[in-house]
Structure 1
């Protein structure tokens, strides 16, 4: 152990030592050895009010890995805060562009994507991960946005209509090198695949990997995905993080997509087929784009949407677990800061976007998927900004009693949470992330044995936060 402490500030020397010991047959990446290479991690839920902006970075030596989950806000104050936070991440003018390795978009509602263009213009984005949206689902999302904006006396942003017409082309236009679409989960899906890897296990890389890199492991066949491939994968596929060809601290990203019931999709199609007057071989989303040129079309959409109560048709949202996939002992439990409060939490976060988990079948499938990660989840985002319409107490069964529950909401909503939610969660640690800077959440974790961990953590935090 003393020898690894001596090399902990020099990853290259440590790698050479591990290789020499393996060749000699003394060890095969035992837990003791992996401790020396466990990276430092900083994760933050930014205070942008009713929206979402989660960022994270991990580092060891010169290696860096950065990710983002959602980037949007709904109100002027929140959008201003979001713009400021993106500017901080981008660094000083004239600096080399920083890179985001993974950008996850939970769904395409305005309050979750309004800052995507600014983000992708200010930083280089390698891979974007989105829910798989067929033609009908993209039309459903657009109709819901039209109805909401018409209710508010506003129009739909042109960028959103372009994004929904062809999400892959839109993201590629703004510099994404790869766009991965995740199909909805369902009965029989669980998140245990990555948990099955033991010390030294993992997918074989087809080429040398320099630095820290996320590697996609498919649910279907454990195949490693090419970096520039625009693929569609199943829920249960996930990203393992490697470091110079080795696994990097057992860290993973595990998405799961909830979807609308087929009956809700059929009801939407029946309600709108006549209104949009589709032409032969015309897709539904293309028909919406054509009809939006008519001045009275938004009013008709709002009326139809509300008359048929079609809100549940727009139920696609991608949740994301970010954290260790094997044994959380490699990451120390560090304080999670909520404003001026501190809470001891585990290293993993479960982010839920606008998942509609009140519906029993959808909720049961979601809980089954994430329950194997229970001991690793230290922070759980309450779905849909803590809305009581999308909450059920059963979702708390997949986390420990000391897990921090948080919701991203406007400070002006009045009571922090609806009484139907509050009566269930009031005995647990709860935080509200509003558009007040003091309400942002930040957590750090990493191996406690690293001799110069404080210095490296300071560098990582200054660079990314």
Structure 2
């Protein structure tokens, strides 16, 4: 028997976002209390860790000292690396510490929403209107994938927004062979025995990827350590990462029943269509293809920035068109009609460590998703609803702002706790108290993670897997 465990932390960085997770597979019995350790050892002193993957969701803060403390803790937990970095959106309080993260615990793979030309316009115009259109922002608009690679990433995965009819992955049957073609060949010198990996499954996007993007076989597991080429990749809605394992090199890969599933809400509407036509006319373009749009936009910025700002504001309220990516971290199968869960969570301390109980184990983070709007909330809820019994923790959209919250956001069967990342007494978030009142009225608990170390929140779960 061996153990898979997942630990997630909401760091106390004040108003901002810095969420981290660790996925581990070990040759250990489930009951050991050392599941949260960086590197467990057996009785002979040998490491029992087969796989250890670290991910981060957003990295920004308006409280420098609290972020420094949290980054130090993260560096110690990871040993100086981040395997996956998920970015919900590009607002400063969610990304202004990216350079710090990439300098101390660099991420090989970055995952974020795919921005159409009009969305890049929104990003640039917002900065221009605020008087802070830096060279870095201009570089990003010119080449988003290249910007991330210049900041240390190797693979940049842009996730296409949903269209309101998308379905999440079914998850299959955990712990059964899933590789009908047989296992991958093992190179000479590879360690025999239990093996585990994290794979990426890319759904085919609705639009054709830009010609400078790399491609991978769609709907086919790709080992994130060995089978992803450097460059930018366009991934369709429902693309996800999943845990897999096999008992030895002769076995076929099996589902480990854990996924990381990003989702970008639908964004198409009449305003966007009208703006797309207007800016195409203004820039003298027949289309808004990414190759020519950025240079034309930046040239217009240099010659007539006032016209550019006016054009945008004629179609949008600044910030109204913002896009944000949610992230589900949890079991890869829905519970359906089952009443229990294979995953166990701490139920209290005992003289020998943790006692564990079956429980929903998923955490759903929302960034600044504008879920008050039914046109975005309903597709979002429909997409994640198959995991309704697994979702235990929800990060409130936009730090708990009532402008982006609706009581239907809480309608998941397993949901017990809503988390807001802000400093409550500074009134930084509009309508926070109203949102928290609605959370309580729905029979859920809430927690504010602010800039104090004692408010940092972590959540652990684990399950046993038995080779057969």
The 5 A counterparts of 1:179-194 are 179-191=156-168, 193-194=169-170
CA contact (8 A) 1:264 1:312 kept: no
Deviation readout 1:51-74 (Å, 9 max, x if unpaired): 21110112222231111111112x
Deviation readout 1:31-89 (Å, 9 max, x if unpaired): xxxxx33322211011222221110112222231111111112x2x2x34223322332
Deviation readout 1:244-287 (Å, 9 max, x if unpaired): 6744741111111114233222344466568x756798844334
Residue 258 (structure 1) aligns with: 265
SS in 1 for 2:458: strand
Residue 13 (structure 1) aligns with: none
CA 431–330 in structure 1, closer or farther in 2 if over 3 Å, else same: same
The 5 A counterparts of 1:199-238 are 199-203=175-179, 206-208=184-186, 212-220=196-204, 222-225=219-222, 226-228=227-229, 230-238=232-240
Which of 152, 155, 158 is equivalent to 1:178? 155
CA contact (8 A) 1:65 1:212 kept: no
SS in 2 for 1:53: strand
The 5 A counterparts of 1:348-363 are 348-363=362-377
Which of 431, 435, 440 is equivalent to 2:451? 435
Residue 60 (structure 2) aligns with: 72
SS in 1 for 2:463: coil
CA 219–270 in structure 1, closer or farther in 2 if over 3 Å, else same: closer
Instruction: State the TM-score, normalized to the length of structure 2.
Output: 0.74
CA 222–172 in structure 1, closer or farther in 2 if over 3 Å, else same: same
Please state how far the C-alpha of 1:215 moved relative to its aligned partner: 0.4
Residue 395 (structure 2) aligns with: 381
Residue 134 (structure 1) aligns with: 116
> 2:383 aligned with 1:407, yes or no?
no
Q: Distance in 2 between matches of 1:315 and 1:132?
A: 12
SS in 1 for 2:460: strand
SS in 2 for 1:196: coil
Q: Distance in 1 between matches of 2:199 and 2:73?
A: 27
CA contact (8 A) 2:178 2:255 kept: no
Which of 411, 417, 426 is equivalent to 1:397? 411
> 2:49 aligned with 1:49, yes or no?
no
After superposition, the CA RMSD in angstroms is: 3.3
The 5 A counterparts of 1:3-402 are 36-59=1-24, 60=26, 61-62=48-49, 63-73=51-61, 75=62, 77=63, 79-91=64-76, 98-147=80-129, 149-150=130-131, 155-191=132-168, 193-203=169-179, 206-208=184-186, 212-220=196-204, 222-225=219-222, 226-228=227-229, 230-243=232-245, 246-247=253-254, 249-269=256-276, 283-293=292-302, 297=305, 305-306=312-313, 308-311=315-318, 314-326=321-333, 329-334=341-346, 346-400=360-414, 402=415
Q: Distance in 2 between matches of 1:202 and 1:80?
A: 47
CA 87–375 in structure 1, closer or farther in 2 if over 3 Å, else same: same
- Between stretches 97-106 and 366-375, larger displacement belongs to 97-106
SS in 1 for 2:3: coil
- Alignment gaps of 5+ in structure 2: 27-47, 205-217, 247-251, 349-356
CA contact (8 A) 2:161 2:265 kept: yes
Instruction: State the TM-score, normalized to the length of structure 1.
Output: 0.74
SS in 1 for 2:72: helix
CA 104–262 in structure 1, closer or farther in 2 if over 3 Å, else same: same
Residue 27 (structure 1) aligns with: none
CA 171–284 in structure 1, closer or farther in 2 if over 3 Å, else same: same
CA contact (8 A) 1:332 1:448 kept: no
Aligned length: 392
- Alignment gaps of 5+ in structure 1: 1-35, 337-343, 451-465
CA 100–127 in structure 1, closer or farther in 2 if over 3 Å, else same: same
Question: Which protein has the bigger strand share?
Answer: 2
SS in 1 for 2:228: coil
Please state how far the C-alpha of 1:200 moved relative to its aligned partner: 0.9
CA 199–449 in structure 1, closer or farther in 2 if over 3 Å, else same: closer
